[in-house]
Structure formats: C-alpha cells, structure tokens
Structure 1
C-alpha cells in the first residue's frame, strides 16, 4: 500500500491511515504464530490430531450462519442513514438478537451431537463428544465480536479493532502453549484456546460498546434486522457448508492424517485472508462513501491505491510460492511437508476477496441484499459439488484448487451483478496480471522444479521491482502519521 507525504497530488493514490492498525494484529500473529506457535504445536501434535480438530470445528461452524443476524449487512445498510439515537438502539437490538440466536443453536447442536457425530466422523471416538462441546462454547464466547468487528470498521476505529484482535490471539496462543507444553493436555489444548480468546474479547468489547448502546428493545429495529440480515443467513450457511465440505470428504474418503495436512495448510490461508481483511476493513468505508456519492477521494485515487495493493500482493504471492516448501519443512519438523504444495494455492484467495470486496459493498449500498444472497447460494452449491468431485478425482490438491476456484467464481459473479446495477467501479486489471504472475511462478516451482539458487535470484528480482515501484511514495513523516489513527 502506498504512503504519501503532503506534497502528493490529487490524482495520486491515498491510503487511509487505518490500514497499519488493521494490519498490526496480523503482523504480530504472523511473526509469533509462524516462528513460535507452529513449531510447538507440530512438535506435540501429529497430522491426525489436527485432523480431529479440523473436522469437529467444521461441523460446529454451521452454528455461525444458522445463528447469524447478518450484522455486517445490517450495519452497512442502515448505519449511514440513521441518526445517532437510532444507531444506539440498532446496536443494542443487534447484539441482543445475535446472542439469543447463537445460544439457541449452540444448545441444539449439543443435544444432537451424540446421534449425529458418529455418522459424520470416520473412526469416531467417545471423547469427540466432549471436544465438540468445547468447540461450541468457543463459538458462544465469541458472539459479541461478530457484531462489534463490522461496527469498528464502519466507525473507522482501527486501534480498538487491532486491540481486540490482538487480545483474542494472545489469549488463544497462551492457552495453547501452556496446555501443550506445561499441562500436557495434548489436543485438548486446541479446543480450550477459542474459549479463552472469546472471553477476553468480551471483556474488551463490553467497554467499547457500553457508550454506544441504548438499552431499549425496539420492534422497529427487530423488523429491520430481520429484513436486512435474514438474507445473509442462507448465503452464510452455504458459504460455511462449502468451506466445510472439503474437510468432510477428505476425512471420509482419505483419512484424518491427510485432513491434518490439509488443515495445516489452511492455517497459512488464515494468515493470507487476515491480511486481506486489513485491506478490506480499510477500504470498505472508502468504497461506501464513493458509492453513496460523498467520497473523500476521487475514483482515480481509489483505483491507483488498489493497483498498488495488487502490486504488493503479487510480490507476496511469488515469495510464498518460492519458499513455502523450505519454510514448512523447517517449522514443522518434517511432519507436514505435504502441505507446502497447497499453501500457494490458498494465496489466490487474497486476489478473490480483494477483487470482490468493492462489488459486494456496492450491492449492499443499493440494497440488493436478497439478490446478493440467493445468487451466491447458487455459486456455493456449485462449489460444494466441485470440491467433492475434485477430491474424489485428485485428492487433497483437488480439494484445495476447487475451493479457491469457487471463491474466484463467486466474486466474479458479484462483479457482473454490481455492474448490472450501475456500479461505477470496474474490474481491476492489475489483479489479473498479478494472478497470472503468481501462477507462472507456481508452475515453475512445483511442476518444472527450481534449485534454491534460482529461487533466491527470483526473490531478489521481485523485491527490487517492488522497491522501485513504491519507494518514491514513502516518507518517514507519512509513516509516523499513519499510526495516529482514530480510536
């Protein structure tokens, strides 16, 4: 992303100072997670252990869309069109609805688990019932964050967002480390971590929300939440189902160890998606203002900023592709080497989510919630079928490729829908060129084969080009100002 000094012209890219604050938790999580958490967890746990965590989490995650009140959709639709007093009532009723829905579905899943889990999980064990209950408690503990995260984004409160995310991650990481290395709990420590993270998030979130809510149940806002948020439920359900299908078919048709390899590769996917979320959370208010007709930046400035984002993403994707095998072998003690070929494929999700973000916001701005939901459901159904077929034919690499292709197709469809309803923002050609460059490097690395010396030379060339393209835009004064973001 570009950082500009005061002398920048009107047509040059401008980046919201929130970006570094939204990115800060990701930087900390990546450095500590990759350097500390991955070596420790893979030392104490085997692929089959991670496979157990993955399948139980995938089943429990169905609670999230079923209990969803469409917080992001509701806030994006009503926040800018509502006065201050109405916003306070909206937030309270949204929090109340979210907590009530989540509690009902968590209890229902717990009651059904003894009958359902043995039929879904290959080589089922009795202790999986207790593990599943802990996963559900972790989801319930994180309920508040589902509402406050989109609120902080819309209110441009990146410091609060970064603080909450960092506290969550630190609590989860500490619980995992103590559980594995001190208390010797084994895989149980992985199920306790989300509970600790959720509880810490609640403590911080209550402080943030206390000044922004009015304790007034409202029939009006209850109806608006249903109207704006209800269409998000089937879409979210299909999205989670599509993301869970791969884990289900891998453990049924292959084994839990292979699922563990796959799940480990998804941990790096989580890092990529989190970086993309920092970009999305920074640019979402900008696009909402642009589409609402009162932009702080011209469309040309927005397009230039986005182009620079894709330049940085392209460089990052090439570096990940070149060195994923060496890094994963070193960090996982050689246990998870098979995950290396999958990691660069997951990186393409950065392109998918980045490309689809402005068009999703436009469809929400013009109140096409229902169309957005049901058209996305059709794409998710196609993705589920594609993942199942690709897993059957090509194994774990087929599942990974199909999941990424489904995400690209979904966001491509949102582009066509947004343009149909008059979206003034077009498809970013820089994203297409960047994807092509990363794909070419992937083919050379994993199909042709490159020695380490060639990889180092290519990495040096990539970094040189990136520096030449971005160096004129940086200044120490501009970097310092970026950290003075609103709370």
Structure 2
C-alpha cells in the first residue's frame, strides 16, 4: 500500500473515531460529571500502564525482524510477539494489584473502589495483545485493517457505555464497561490476525527474538505510563476527582488531536525508516508530510486559544468549561512533541532505538521528580509544567544525539512559533472579554493567513498524496 493510501486510511480512522466519541460526549455528560471522568481517568491510566508495558516488549525488535523474516519464520515470530505481550501483561497485573492496594492502605485513600479497580486491571490485560498488534499493523502498512478495527472499538464502547447509563443506571462504572468491551474486541482481533498455533519449543526459540531490546523499551514505557499513573493519583489526592476530571477532559482533546497526528505518523513510518537508511538522508517525503502535521496541530492550538472555552461549554453542558486553559496548554505540549521528527526517525532507522528509548526514560524520570515539587503548590498546573520539562529535555537530547550521525536542518519553526502565539492568544482572551463572534472572525482571519503563507506546502503535500493511476 502506498504512503498516500496508508495515510488516507489512518486519517479517516483518526478523524472518525474522535468525532464518534465527541458526538457521544454531550450524551454522557447529561448523567456524568467531572468526578466520574476523573475516576475513569485514573482507572484507564492503570490499565494503560499494563497494556503499555506489555505492548512495548517487542517495540524495538519489530521493525528489524519484520523487514527480514518471511513465511513460517515470520508467523512464528508474530505469535511469539503476542504471547510475550500477554505474559508481560499478566506479570504486570501480579505486581500492580498488590502495589495499588498497599499504596491505598499506606496513604489511607482508596482512590478507586474495588470493582472499578478490577475492571481497570482486566481492561489492561485485555489490551496487551492489541497494543502490540497496533505496532505490527503500522510497520506492515495495514492501515485499512487498523481503521476498520478502531471504528468498531469506538462504536462498541459507546454502545456499552450508553446501555449502562440509560438502561442499567450504572453511572459509576459505565465508562469502565465500555473500555473493557473495546479492549475485548481488540484482543479478539489480535488473535485472529497474528496468533497461530505453535509448539512450546518454537516459542522458546522465538521469544528471545521477540523480546530483543525489551529492557530499554519496557523501561521507557514503565517510566512514561508509571509517571502518568503517579501523576493522576497524586492529583486526585491533592486536588480531588473533580479537578482530575477537568484535567483528563483537557487531555481528551489533546489525545484526539494526537490520534490524527498518529495517522500521518503511521502512514509515513515505513517511508521515513527507508529514508533514514540513506548515506546522507534528507527526509524529503517525511518532512513534506510532517510540515502539514505541525501546521495542523498549530491550528488546533490556535483554535482552542480563540474559542476553546465556548466549544467545551457547548459539548459538556457547561460542566467542564474550566478545562479550557488546561486544554490549550496540553495542546502546546503536543505541538512540541512533533518537533525533531526526522531526528527520531534517524535514530530508529540506524538501529539506535535503545538510545532513543533511554533519552525518553531519562526525560520522564526528571519530569517525574518535578511532580513532587510542583503538584502540591500548583495542582493541575504543576502536572502540566512537568510535561513541558519532559518534552523539552527529550527533544534537546534528540537534537544532540543525531549530530553525531549527520547534520539535519532545523525545521520546527511552526512548533515554537505556533506554541508561543497560542499561549499569548489564550492569555489575551482571558483578560479581554471579546464576544464569540469577534473571536471567531479573528480565528478565521488567522487561518486564512496561515493557508496563504503555506500554500506551497499544501500544494506539494497534495501532489505527494494524490493517487497515481498506472
């Protein structure tokens, strides 16, 4: 499948899934409030810690092994990858459950009820194989399969949550049941797509290959997901579930935007890895696509800075309006995360995935320590500041690391320019109470200016993505 077709399918799924979830949000918020979403945010984080660590087990071995293996060897390897992810997921469950219980007893706070905790843990284990499968689908370029499955997961999630809320009156755990239903579908899909019967001796032979480089990847995943779990638990303790609910709601918009970003990222991944292998890589195709990614994220940041408060109030019946400033700040974090894309691809394509993962782990570790100092004094803003610390350290590390290989041009002007403009615009409109129509007109004017400035980039991108008829 061409980069154009891959990107199109990823883009369709990445637009469709957030839109489906967004359409359900006004329905959910008729019965659910910030505290419900805060509790689910903590539970989903615990589940993400399990599935993230399990899915990371083979992250560094997959790109290389899938490029050289064929036939039965490839089949055995993929079965070993899924088996490894499941085993690591179960191992995480064994550690996390007693750890959470002891932490709750130590601090005298049971953040989640027993039922919610068990549902979250189950969802984490169910998601383990699907998380690994997403990586496989991305490397193999099976964008259509990925799109169909993510649509199906979103729809079954909404159906189950709605049934629990409006038919069973199960408000407290409705979001958890929907989460489990989507995870179960992902597990089933992973089994059908990639898991094949294999002997114990074959597993013994292929599991080491599946787990090659797992130490760095798993350490990075533990650091990243562990930081998030600690951050949300810490926030719940200092600020309560309502504040955590506002924060997680702001993260919803960041994550929805990130899903769209990942569509283009997955679409260009195989091409970027090929470009990285060149003696003097220029990343011509990668940079063309990534310019559009950065412009898109910058436009989302600017949009929320201008009219985000009104949009959130409309979607949530006014219950989550205070999350607007958090949203802008988190979207700027996401914009910063798009920096140094070609630098990251160079490291991964040249077999330096361990270095990339270690840089990530180090930056997360420092940001994790900053939470202890910042959250007690600044609450949610303390957690957001720690994210800025993490992303700046990680990107600086990538810039420095790639200089040892080859010199890549700086191409992240939209990242830093868009972030600064969004921050100042958000502060300005908080202080100056302009009408919605005035802010909307200013926003449209800003978008027209951006389109005019980047017209050549859009033309090049369209030409690159246009299907070729042979």
TM-score greater than 0.5 by the shorter chain: yes
Q: Is the 8 A contact 2:272 2:345 kept in 1?
A: yes
Q: Decide whether the 8 Å contact of 1:71 with 1:150 is kept in 2.
A: no
- In the alignment, is residue 29 of structure 1 matched against residue 17 of structure 2? yes
Matched with 1:393 is 377
Q: In structure 2, what is the equivalent of residue 5 of structure 1?
A: none
Q: State how 1:82-121 maps to structure 2 within 5 Å.
A: 82-110=69-97, 113-119=100-106
- Aligned twin of 1:78: 65
* Aligned: 1:215 with 2:198: yes
> 1:245 & 1:420 partners in 2: Cα distance?
35
> Is residue 70–residue 233 contact of structure 1 (8 Å, CA) maintained in 2?
yes
Bigger RCO of structures 1 and 2 (CA < 8 A, at least 6 apart):
1
> Which residue of structure 1 lines up, in the alignment, with residue 265 of structure 2?
280
In the other structure, the counterpart of 1:262 is 247
Shift in Å, 1:425: 6.1
Measure, in 1, the Cα distance between the counterparts of 2:462 and 2:403: 39
Q: Could you tell me which of 47, 50, 58 is aligned with 1:63?
A: 50
- Deviation by residue 1:21-57 (Cα, 9 ceiling, x = unmatched): 112222222323223x221222212222222222333
2:312–2:324 CA contact under 8 A, matched in 1: yes
Instruction: Tell me the CA shift for residue 353 of structure 1.
Output: 3.0
Question: C-alpha separation between the residues in 2 aligned to 1:17 and 1:298?
Answer: 23
After superposition, the Cα gap between the structure-2 partners of 1:121 and 1:142, relative to the gap in structure 1 and judged at 3 Å, is farther
Post-superposition Cα deviations, 1:456-477, rounded to whole Å, max 9, x if no partner, equal: 2221112323444449739999
Deviation, structure 1 residue 239: 0.7
Determine the C-alpha separation between the residues in 2 that align with 1:478 and 1:418.
27
Mapping for residues 233-252 of structure 1, pairs under 5 Å:
233-252=218-237
Q: Distance in 2 between matches of 1:309 and 1:18?
A: 15
Structure 2 matches for 1:335-346, cutoff 5 A?
335-346=319-330
The one of 182, 185, 193 aligned to 1:197: 182
In 1: Cα distance, 2:259 partner to 2:136 partner: 17
SS of 2:339 mapped into structure 1? helix
Residue 271 of structure 1: CA displacement?
A: 0.6
1:305-359 Cα shifts (integer Å, max 9, x gaps): 3223322332222112211100111121222121111111111233233224433
Decide whether aligned partners of structure 1 residues 262 and 221 sit closer, same or farther in structure 2, where only a CA change above 3 A counts.
same
Q: For the residues of structure 2 that align with 1:372 and 1:55, how far apart are their CA atoms? A: 28
Deviations 1:87-116 (A, max 9, x none): 222211111111122123224434555444
Give the conservation status (yes or no) of the 8 Å contact 2:77–2:206: yes
| Equivalent residue runs for 1:315-330 within 5 Å | 315-330=299-314
Counterpart in the other structure of 1:7: none
Find the counterpart in structure 2 of residue 44 from structure 1. 31
Q: Number of paired residues?
A: 464
- What is the CA distance between 1:417 and its match in structure 2? 1.6
Q: TM-score, normalised by structure 1?
A: 0.86
Determine the C-alpha separation between the residues in 2 that align with 1:305 and 1:56.
35
Cα distance change on mapping 1:419 and 1:282 into 2, 3 Å? farther
Corresponding residue SS for 2:212: helix
Q: Residue in 1 aligned with 2:399?
A: 415
Stretch of structure 1 that moved more, 172-181 or 217-226:
217-226
Q: Structure 1 residues 209, 380: closer, same or farther in 2, change over 3 A?
A: same
Any conservation in 1 of the 2:294–2:415 contact (CA below 8 Å)?
Answer: yes
RMSD: 3.0
- In structure 2, runs of 5+ residues without a counterpart are none
List runs of 5+ in structure 1 lacking aligned partners: 1-13
